[in-house]
Amino acid sequence: MSSTTVPRDLPPTITWERDRIVLVDQTRLPELHRVEVTTVDGLVDAIRRLVVRGAPALGVAGAYGVALAARSAANGGGDLAGDAERIASARPTAVNLRRGVERALAAPDPLAAAHAVRDEDVAACRAIGARGAALLGELCGERPLRLHTHCNAGALACVEWGTALGVVRSLHASGRVELVVADETRPLLQGSRITTVELQALGVPHRVVVDGAAASVIARGLVDAVVVGADRIAANGDVANKIGTYPLALAAARAGIPFVVAAPETTVDAATPDGAAIEIEERDAAEVVAGADAWNPAFDVTPADLVTAIVTDTRTWRP
């Protein structure tokens, strides 16, 4: 493993090097620290501890995990199907994790399939960025925008470009971002620790707000649109994303500004009819408070009728 200060050009979130998975440790940001994973146990632990997080990144990690498991099984160690299921179930809400696992497991060459999942993620995110930038130009006008986002849906949640922050990047490249408001995103502060790292690296003007201030910022007219990612999108357009997203959608609806979800088409789960059918991960109470009981849901569900549009790599969907 290695550690350094964060460079202007962030490294890829996930790479395959010397027959192992190398991850940017997202629990250590804003310090840049890379971790080498050589076993299925190590990957499952990294997924559960949020060393790697974000639906697209989890899909790539899951596929590479199957490549690790296949090599172990070929050498007489481990149960490929059982190891694949352990990886797929490490975090239940994000559909991309299981999809990445299943794709690599079904392939004659799991490593080649994992590389394909990685490459497709990069291409998909760039397409999302362009499509989302065009949509916001249509909705808000061709002017510099003040955008509000939640958690982290940037390069570090994917491989190297991002979904919601991919839209920001595309807008920024054409001089159309005035400011990004980033929620700190409690309890693990993915907004203030991770999104700010990416925005600083990109040179995008930004401000962090505590989660409790987010709706008020919107109500005061300080932003023009809300752009977030997603961990699973149900067939009817209900969206599961990091806890705290639903209040943003309510505030945006009240203020009459767009609420846009940016995610790859692989995050749309036709087998899940609506948000009520999405399993919401409950994390350890110790992340919230020490020595007391707490509810700590990792995600919430935003109903489709609060979503202005869902932008994927292949379409703009207005559910």
* SS3 at position 52: coil
- Predicted confidence at residue 1, as pLDDT, reads 46
Q: Could you tell me the two tokens for 14?
A: 């996930």
Greatest Cα-to-Cα distance within the chain, rounded to the nearest angstrom: 62
Classify residue 102: in a domain, yes or no. yes
CA gap 253, 208 in Å, rounded: 22
Catalytic residues: 231
Closest among 58, 90, 232 to 156, alpha carbons compared? 58
Higher pLDDT among residues 37 and 11, named by residue: 37
Classify residue 256: in a domain, yes or no. yes
Question: Per residue in 42-70, pLDDT tens?
Answer: 999 999 999 999 999 999 999 999 999 99
Q: What is the CATH number of the domain that holds 85?
A: 1.20.120.420
**Domain identity same for 115 and 140:** no
What b-and-e string marks burial along 250-274, b requiring 16 or more CB atoms within 10 Å of the CB?
ebbbebebbbbbbbbebbbbeebee
**Domain identity same for 153 and 180:** yes
**Domain identity same for 52 and 141:** no
Classify residue 98: in a domain, yes or no. yes
**Domain identity same for 186 and 280:** yes
- Predicted confidence at residue 7, as pLDDT, reads 54
- C-beta atoms surrounding 16 within 10 Å: 17
Instruction: State the residue range of the domain holding 24.
Output: 2-119
- Predicted confidence at residue 2, as pLDDT, reads 47
The total domain count for the chain is 2
Classify residue 148: in a domain, yes or no. yes
**Domain identity same for 89 and 155:** no
Among all chains, which residue has been given the structure tokens 């995990």? 65
Mean local confidence (pLDDT), 12-17: 96
**Domain identity same for 91 and 161:** no
- Complete edge-to-edge strand list for the sheet that includes strand 299-302: 268-269, 232-234, 239-242, 299-302
**Domain identity same for 149 and 296:** yes
**Confidence class of residue 130 from pLDDT cuts 50, 70 and 90?**
very high
Question: Per residue in 159-205, pLDDT tens?
Answer: 989 999 999 999 999 999 999 999 999 999 999 999 999 999 999 99
Question: Per residue in 262-279, pLDDT tens?
Answer: 999 999 999 999 999 999
**Domain identity same for 77 and 200:** no
Closest among 1, 11, 76, 10 to 37, alpha carbons compared? 1
Classify residue 215: in a domain, yes or no. yes
